[in-house]
């Protein structure tokens, strides 16, 4: 059996408009690339070969990938350790599941190298521990799709109940990542603890509508359901130009547009790659017109999730 793997773990869009804390989907790009290497020596060692993320914590207990892997190892108790060599890293604080991608990569890679003592789905709770370090909350709406691929509904956290939802083949995401920082903790802190019942009713109409639209291949219903009346109005305050960027996306043909995760990235869903490319360009140029350099990504929904390649 190979002693090391190159693991590719994808970026993810969580919340998906109305589905705050309960929905997410995986992208084909960007992704983390981490070499996971089995070592005789027990424990976890982290090496940063990204060249783009000099401040990455190298102590396992402060690193989302390290903490998730340690939690997994404490459960499986193998007679070995692991090195984690980060090669490519999704930019932290982007709102497209950077910490989730790392947590999933480490746990998935180690489980593969140990001959899969646990099933893929059963790795989720260890990956969630990485999220607890990153954001203070062990949420599953990024690690779920990064691990399992596709569009994931987290129906419940206690007990954990994760459901994969089929999506239309044509569906394509466009994401822009303006180069500003929004800390997940801050994005959580500004939320109100109470919401109006009438807004909550609208929100659960939209979560139910989005699931129905995805499963019925009803593009119109998907678009109408991509509407967050509770979180977006508050969090969008942290993203300069949000309103204009959203307007540009919808004018360019996006089915819907909202904040990805806790931001600052903004995602759209679209009826084709061609529309997604136009929409990405429209959003990017709107941000850049107000002086904010912006990365953009176009991706179909990644139904595979994290994957590993044998390397010598």
Binding site for a second copy (CB under 8 A): 18-23, 153-156, 161, 163, 165, 191-198, 200-212, 215-216, 218, 221, 224-225, 230
Per the listing, tokens 């459960």 go with 75
Q: How far is the CB of 268 from a second copy (least distance, A)?
A: 20
Sequence length of the chain is: 312
Our CB check for a second copy shows the closer of 216 and 310 to be 216
Q: Identify which of residues 216 and 243 has a Cβ nearer to a second copy in the complex.
A: 216
Beta bridge partners of 191: none
Catalytic: 64?
no
Q: How far is the CB of 132 from a second copy (least distance, A)?
A: 16
Q: Report CA-CA distances (Å) from 59 to 43, 64, 295.
A: 11, 10, 30
Residue 207 beta carbon to a second copy: minimum distance, rounded to whole angstroms: 4
Least separation in angstroms between residue 189's CB and a second copy is 13
> What b/e sequence results for 197-236 when a residue is b if at least 16 CB atoms lie within 10 Å of its CB, and e otherwise?
eeeeeebeebbebbbebbeeeebebbbebbbbbbbbeebb
Q: Residue 32's beta-bridge partner residues? A: 9
Catalytic residue among 184, 207, 268, 294: 184
Closest distance to a second copy from the beta carbon of 25 (Å) = 13
Nearer to a second copy, 60 or 209 (CB): 209
Phi-psi map region of 85: left, alpha, beta (phi>0 left; psi -120 to 50 alpha)? beta
CA 18 – CA 9 distance, rounded (Å): 25
In angstroms, what is the minimal distance from the CB of 265 to a second copy? 21
Return phi, psi of residue 134, to 5°: -70, -40
Report the chain's terminal Cα–Cα distance, integer Å.
11
Q: How far is CA 93 from CA 53, 164, 192, 248, 264, in A?
A: 12, 26, 22, 24, 8
184 catalytic residue (yes or no):
yes
Instruction: State which residue, 207 or 286, has the beta carbon closest to a second copy.
Output: 207
Which residues, other chains included, contact 216 with Cβ-Cβ below 8 Å and sequence gap of 6+?
A: none
If the CB atoms of residues 204 and 309 are measured against a second copy, the closer one turns out to be: 204
Place of tokens 């000099």: 54
Are the C-beta atoms of 138 and 295 separated by less than 8 Å?
A: no
The 256-259 sheet, strands edge to edge? 256-259, 266-270, 172-178, 294-300
Annotated catalytic residue: which of 131, 275, 286, 294? 131
Judged by CB, which is closer to a second copy: 58, or 196?
A: 196
Q: Which residues are catalytic?
A: 131, 184
């Amino acid at each position: 059996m190979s002693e090391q793997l190159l693991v590719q773990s994808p970026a993810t869009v969580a919340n998906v408009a109305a589905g705050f804390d309960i929905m997410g989907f995986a992208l084909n790009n960007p992704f983390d690339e981490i070499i996971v290497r089995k070592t005789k020596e027990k424990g976890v060692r982290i090496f940063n070969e990204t060249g783009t993320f000099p401040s990455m914590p190298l102590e396992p207990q402060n690193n989302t990938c390290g903490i998730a892997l340690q939690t997994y190892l404490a459960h499986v108790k193998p007679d070995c350790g692991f090195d984690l060599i980060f090669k490519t890293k999704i930019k932290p604080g982007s709102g497209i599941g950077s910490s989730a991608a790392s947590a999933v990569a480490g746990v998935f890679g180690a489980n593969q190298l140990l001959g899969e003592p646990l099933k893929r789905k059963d790795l989720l709770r260890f990956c969630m521990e990485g999220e607890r370090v990153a954001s203070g909350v062990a949420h599953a709406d990024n690690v779920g799709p990064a691990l399992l691929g596709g569009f994931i509904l987290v129906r419940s956290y206690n007990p954990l109940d994760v459901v994969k939802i089929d999506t239309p083949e044509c569906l394509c995401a466009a994401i822009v990542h303006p180069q500003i920082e929004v800390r997940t903790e801050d994005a959580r802190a500004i939320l109100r603890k109470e919401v109006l019942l009438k807004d909550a009713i609208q929100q659960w109409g939209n979560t139910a509508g989005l699931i129905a639209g995805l499963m019925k291949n009803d593009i119109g219903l998907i678009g109408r359901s991509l509407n967050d009346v509770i979180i977006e109005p508050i969090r969008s305050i942290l993203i300069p130009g949000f309103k204009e960027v959203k307007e540009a996306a919808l004018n360019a043909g996006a089915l819907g547009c909202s904040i990805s995760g806790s931001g600052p990235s903004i995602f759209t869903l679209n009826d084709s790659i061609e529309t997604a490319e136009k929409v990405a360009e429209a959003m990017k140029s709107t941000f850049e017109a107000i002086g904010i350099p912006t990365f953009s990504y176009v991706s179909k929904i990644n139904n595979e999730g994290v994957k590993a390649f044998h390397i010598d």
